[in-house]
Amino acid sequence: MNTLRVGLVQMHVGYSKEENLQKAKEMVQKAVSKNAQLIVLPEMFNCPYDNQFFPAFAEEEGGFSWQELSRMALENEVFLIGGSIPEIDDQGCIYNTSFVFNRQGGQIAKHRKVHLFDIDVKGGQYFKESDTLSAGNEATVFDTPFGRMGLIICYDIRFPELARLLVAKGAKFIIVPGAFNMTTGPAHWEILFRTRALDNQVYMMGAAPARNEEAAYVSYGNSIIVDPWGKVVQRMDGEENILIEDLEPAKIERVRTELPLLKHLRQDLYTLTEHPYVTPKNGRY
């Protein structure tokens, strides 16, 4: 596979789940018309990013939004990363969950946000996901014809240990549905994507909601792709749009060969071997 054409959907999110899903469907179709093979929706694309809405919008796996996402993938014959939605389990716990579908509309992965976004910045953003949401406990990877991919959600990107676990499990691309705000976004969004790409020599892809200054939580937008060398390949602004870009899977191995930092990990000084997914051999992941 010489190239992978991806489409990152940056869409406005309103107060109607049905209208949000219809908007997502239309933008997925537009991305497909531009020959996108893998499409990423933003975090909480079907629900306003606000604690008061998470319980009201929450659905079980296999529910209405899940079925619509499956149908979008099947009808358009694309790999679809369904941003994230509020997911409720049979115990009543609500998670910030991303479902992944293959070209046949089958679910091939599911990631529940591991790190809950609880911040209180003086003079800036206050938000506590833990008021309504529960945390996941899996490092999520899935296989595609383009290579193995890792999936995290928004605040998860701030924890380098999680990204490294994905790489230890074979990820060559890390996908991040996210919704940074106007306090954290300008300060940290690009830095984090470039740093995780450099740390792990992977493509980093972030899809965010479009900016709505009238919303209770204002998304920074700026959906982004960074290559394994740490270069910003393409980045949007705050407006609703679709980012289309061709990625070169071969570039990952080229960078890892030229600058073999993953071979230089010092397992005698630090290790991830206590994690059940990681089985390094000869100091190498």
SS3 content of the chain, % helix, strand, coil (to 5): 30, 25, 45
**Pair type for strands 38-40 and 79-81:** parallel
Q: Residue 162: which residues within 8 A CB-CB, separation 6 or more?
A: 114, 115, 139, 152, 156
- Identify the active-site residue in 43, 59, 68, 129: 43
Catalytic residue among 47, 113, 129, 172: 113
Active site residue 61: no
Closest CA to 224 of 178, 256, 184: 178
Q: How far is CA 251 from CA 118, 123, 142, 165, 263, in A?
A: 36, 42, 20, 21, 17
User: Annotated catalytic, 113?
Assistant: yes
Structure-block tokens of residue 93: 């716990």
Residue with tokens 């870009």: 245
Dihedral of CA 167/97/230/148: which sign? positive
* Residue in 47, 87, 154, 172 annotated catalytic: 154
The encoded tokens of residue 84 equal 């994230």
What order of strands is seen across the sheet that includes strand 147-151? 140-144, 147-151, 173-177, 203-207, 224-226, 232-235
Active site residues: 43, 113, 154
